[in-house]
Amino acid sequence: MSDEMQAAEKKRTGRRPGGEDTRGAVLAAARAEFGAKGYQKASMRAIARSAGVDAALLHHYFGSKDRLFMAALEFPIDPRAVVERVVLAGDRASVGERLAAFVLELWEQPAIRDRLLALLRTAAASEEVAALVRGFMVTELVGRLAAVLDGERPELRVELAMSQIVGLAMARYVIGVEPLASAPPEELVPLLGRTVQSYFDAS
C-alpha cells in the first residue's frame, strides 16, 4: 500500500492502516473472495468490506477487478497488454506471430517463467485454482481476442490457439523435451505463430 493510501486510510478510519499489513489484508481478502466465488462473481465491494477498507479507495489504488486479481495471484500475464501489444500493434494477418513472440518473450524471463510454472502446477493440482484461472482468462482475454476475429466460433478458435501456447510451455519448460526445450525462440516464433494465425483466420 502506498504512503498516500495509508494516509488516506488513516484519515478515513482513524486507525493505523498498518502499511504493508493493510495491503496484505486486501490481497488475502481478494484471494479468499476469488477462491470462494470464482473470478466472475467475486465482488470488489465484498473484498473491501472483508479487508476493512473503503471500496472507493480500493478501486482507486488497485484499479479494476482484473488488476486486483493479478496482484492477489501474482498473475504475470496482463490481458490488456496482450490486446495492446499484439492485437492493436499491427495488421490482422500477423497477429499470430506477434502473439507467439509476446508469449515466448514472457516465458523466457526466469522470474515470470517461475511464476507461470507455479500457477500451472497449482492449477493442475487444484480444481479451485483451475476454475479461478479459467474464469479470469475467459472473461479478460478470450473475449477480447474473440471480439476481433471474423468467422464462426471465435471463442473456440481463440482457446485452441491458447491451448497450443500452453502446450508448448508444458513441453518446453515443464517436460523439457529435446530438441524443443533448447530451440531458440527465433525458430519457434514463426512455427507457433503460423498455428495461432491458422486458428485466428476464419475457417
Neighbour count for residue 190 (Cβ, 10 Å)? 12
Question: Of 137, 139, 186, 193, which lies in the binding site for a second copy, with binding defined by CB under 8 A?
Answer: 137
Of 8-16, 28-36, 40-48, 117-125: span binding a second copy (CB under 8 A): 117-125
Distance CA 137, CA 132 (A): 9
Residues 66-85 interacting with a second copy (rule: CB under 8 A) = none
Task: Please name the residues in contact with 130: beta carbons below 8 A apart, sequence gap of 6 or more.
Answer: 123, 124
State in angstroms the smallest separation of the CB of 137 from a second copy: 7
Q: Is 6 among the residues that bind a second copy (CB under 8 A)?
A: no
Instruction: Indicate if the alpha-carbon torsion angle 31, 37, 40, 42 is positive or negative.
Output: negative
Rg (CA), the chain: 19
Of 19-27, 64-72, 77-85, 137-145: span binding a second copy (CB under 8 A): 137-145
Q: Is 180 among the residues that bind a second copy (CB under 8 A)?
A: yes
Of 10-18, 89-97, 104-112, 156-164: span binding a second copy (CB under 8 A): 156-164
Which whole-number Å values give the CA distances from 157 to 19, 143, 188, 200, in the listed order? Answer: 45, 11, 20, 6
The CA angle 65-71-77, to the nearest 5 degrees, is 90
Q: Is 165 among the residues that bind a second copy (CB under 8 A)?
A: yes
Question: Which residue, 19 or 143, has its beta carbon nearer to a second copy?
Answer: 143
Kindly state the cell numbers that stand for 187: 525458430
Question: Of 68, 104, 168, 189, which lies in the binding site for a second copy, with binding defined by CB under 8 A?
Answer: 168
The label of the residue with cell 491451448 reads: 163
Contacting positions for a second copy (CB under 8 A):
120-121, 123-125, 130-131, 133-134, 137-138, 142, 153, 155-157, 159-160, 162-172, 174-180, 183, 187-188, 191-192, 194-195, 198-199, 203
